[in-house]
Structure 1
Amino acid sequence: MQFESPIKRRKSRQIMVGDVAVGGDAPITIQSMTNTETTDVEATVAQIERIQMAGADIVRVSVPSMDAAEAFGAIRKRVSIPLVADIHFDYRIALRVADLGVDCLRINPGNIGREKRILAVVDKARDLNIPIRIGVNAGSLEKDLQTKYGEPTPDALVESALRHVDILDKYDFQNFKVSVKASDVFMAVAAYRKLATQIEQPLHLGITEAGGLRGGTVKSSVGLGMLLMDGIGDTIRVSLAADPVEEVKVGWDILKSLKLRSKGINFIACPSCSRQNFDVIKTMNELEMRLEDIITPLDVAVIGCVVNGPGEAKEVDVGLAGGTPKNLVYVNGVPSQKFEQENLVDSLEQLIRKQAAEKEAKEKDIIAKV
């Protein structure tokens, strides 16, 4: 089941967040944000490493004080993934983390005071080649915009974003990306669609404060999916009231479902019914848990009966079609062997790992010959 995504992405300027390209023809990147106290260096480093292991490309860290800025410097020395510093109001914090090796500043130019303060941050970012992320949120719009529009609206979000863009334009600073987030899916989608036609910089997508793990996943999938299908979006963050690792997993699942990126196993599984010849739900839960460490792209079908099983199994790298008394396994579209009900998950895990290893070896061999 290998074919390219039909999505034609919006062309945007490319920026670099550390060694990770965002925008242009670069893959859509996945971000998350730490929720530890930044001043707790050990806890924050440990969480960043977990987020990175889950597949994140970039991690954002809140830096609300000078003490947090100094802790950020210690964190920066201990992790390899690009770090974004989330800063509000105090320009001195931005200047400090810039000197300490930040890869991107999340700071709205219009919120940091007098013009000379703004210029100091822009000059520092220019000198050190640090991009800025303009981050507009429906929950923190400027008071005059709240008065003008009466409530958060897509137009209000875009007007706020363009105000900050105008400031950077004034200083001829184009090394930035923009987000216009809202917790309402329709508002966020409308704002991003409008903004996408007015600037050339990369867009950071997110449905902010989306909710808990289940509800937030649904809202993010719907909202981000609509935008990504339009070709809009260069980097994404799934905002969940959950472990940041879950944000990364959901982000990957969204991009994999749209064939915008490939990593790890793409499972095709039936919802289970009375035709199933083995416990599909239990099997899938076990396989997903056991195989999280595999990063080689692999399509795996787990179908519980002979009605849809063979058709799905023939189209993937490894496919299981339920049968009686044994279940038929396909490898690369060809019937390969049969697995007993007993030790079914163990047998499948071993086969999937074998196929992933062989695929990885082939890819490395191809790269070596190029």
Structure 2
Amino acid sequence: MEFLRENTKEIKIGDVVIGGNHPVAIQSMTNTKTEDVEATVSQILKLEAAGCEIIRCAVPTMEAALALKEIRSKIHIPLVADIHFDYRLAIAAIENGADKIRINPGNIGSEERLRTVVEKAKEYQVPIRVGVNSGSLEKQLVEKYGGVTAAGLAESALDKVDMIEKMGYENLVVSIKSSDVMMCVKAHELIAERCPYPLHVGITEAGTVYTGNVKSSVGLGIILYEGIGNTIRVSLTGDPAEEIKTAKLILKTLDLRRGGIEVVSCPTCGRTKIDLIQLATQVENMVADFPLDIKVAVMGCAVNGPGEAKEADIGIAGGDGVGLLIKKGEIVKKVKEEELLETLRQELLNWKN
């Protein structure tokens, strides 16, 4: 079903284009007070370094809307303004440099107020992300479908799209989110063939780093594998940098993105005679910034390690004070166990494909 993703309209958000055959873009959202320009910029720059390609900021006040101008001047990726309830904040955000705005037309006010926002977006050629959330589904649709359902979410989103199209604007991105993973999957399946616009995909309110990663990986994995989705955000209750790490790994696992070292490690067993958990964590942290597209294995057993690591480009295994450096399943060097990590680091620094 790859054709679904490629057949969406291309929408330009700052310097990033989503839709068509463009790669799935990774997003995150700041958790600083947007009014605090220094803290917000600092967080965005860290997210940029981690691989974030589009960033969203909450705009709950006019002060936050006005702060976008300075924030935008100090970052290097497109800036999205997240607006609820007050249409005036959407207008101010556009005028102060937002590359895209996110609104829920259902809570932005009257049709006339929505039209005012649309006209301002049209004037500045700023895309509008039409966002629908299971927590704010309209009462009539809840009653129509007997509760909050995937069909209700899809219908709500399409209704909002139709409303803005009738106002003469088609520079749109659509999102339908739920914390219910399978409802979210079904909603995206229902809307994908009926919506020509790029889809922003995510499992909303997914939870802490542990539960959120599991729910997001399952939900996004299914949706993206079906060829649906043009930009993603992993929603976690935690450091936004964790969202980027997870998003990159999801895309890499599905072969939708290349680059970055993939670390594989064995689950440990009674043969393990080293602190494999600590070693694997150290390796994962160490390789995070290496611009290599290879697989690194971390094995806890010098007996089976080489065989288990044969599909990796390079690996290490240890036990009884001895460490092994492995390439494509072949032992190439023996070192002291305490030298394993540095040996691997030096190999990666001098890596030649």
Q: State TM-score, norm by structure 2.
A: 0.92
Q: Which amino acid aligns with 2:288?
A: E
**Matches of 1:201 and 1:339, distance apart in 2:** 55
Instruction: Write the mapping of 1:35-50 to structure 2, written as runs, cut at 5 A.
Output: 35-50=31-46
Structure 1 vs Structure 2: percent identity of aligned residues?
Answer: 50
**Matches of 1:109 and 1:353, distance apart in 2:** 51
Q: Which amino acid aligns with 2:43?
A: Q
Alignment pair present for 1:177 and 2:173:
yes
Residue 325 to residue 73, structure 1, CA distance change in 2 (3 Å)? closer
CA contact (8 A) 1:268 1:302 kept: yes
**Matches of 2:109 and 2:4, distance apart in 1:** 36
**Matches of 1:9 and 1:50, distance apart in 2:** 33
Shift of 1:291: 2.7
Shift of 1:267: 0.5
Residue 354 to residue 68, structure 1, CA distance change in 2 (3 Å)? same
**Matches of 1:147 and 1:66, distance apart in 2:** 36
Cα shift readout 1:77-105 (whole Å, capped 9, x = no counterpart)? 11111111001122222122112111111
Q: Which amino acid aligns with 1:232?
A: I
CA contact (8 A) 1:267 1:302 kept: yes
Equivalent in the alignment of 2:143: 147
Equivalent in the alignment of 2:200: 204
Equivalent in the alignment of 1:278: 274
Alignment pair present for 1:235 and 2:226:
no
CA contact (8 A) 1:34 1:44 kept: yes
**Matches of 2:217 and 2:307, distance apart in 1:** 28
**Matches of 1:137 and 1:294, distance apart in 2:** 37
Alignment pair present for 1:83 and 2:85:
no
CA contact (8 A) 2:27 2:56 kept: yes
SS in 2 for 1:285: helix
**Matches of 1:325 and 1:44, distance apart in 2:** 47
**Matches of 1:266 and 1:122, distance apart in 2:** 43
Equivalent in the alignment of 1:213: 209
CA RMSD of superposed structures (Å): 2.1
**Matches of 1:198 and 1:7, distance apart in 2:** 15
Residue 350 to residue 168, structure 1, CA distance change in 2 (3 Å)? same
Shift of 1:137: 0.5
**2:58 alignment partner, one of 58, 62, 65:** 62
Q: State TM-score, norm by structure 1.
A: 0.88
**Matches of 1:320 and 1:130, distance apart in 2:** 50
Moved more, 313-322 or 269-278: 313-322
Equivalent in the alignment of 1:316: 312
Q: Which amino acid aligns with 2:117?
A: V
Cα shift readout 1:21-60 (whole Å, capped 9, x = no counterpart)? 2121111111111111111111111111121121111111
CA contact (8 A) 1:110 1:163 kept: no
Unaligned runs of 5+ in 1: 1-5, 360-370
Alignment pair present for 1:98 and 2:94:
yes
Unaligned runs of 5+ in 2: none
CA contact (8 A) 2:4 2:192 kept: no
Alignment pair present for 1:291 and 2:287:
yes
Q: Which amino acid aligns with 1:191?
A: A
Instruction: Write the mapping of 1:330-349 to structure 2, written as runs, cut at 5 A.
Output: 330-331=326-327, 335-349=331-345
Equivalent in the alignment of 2:114: 118
Alignment pair present for 1:167 and 2:163:
yes
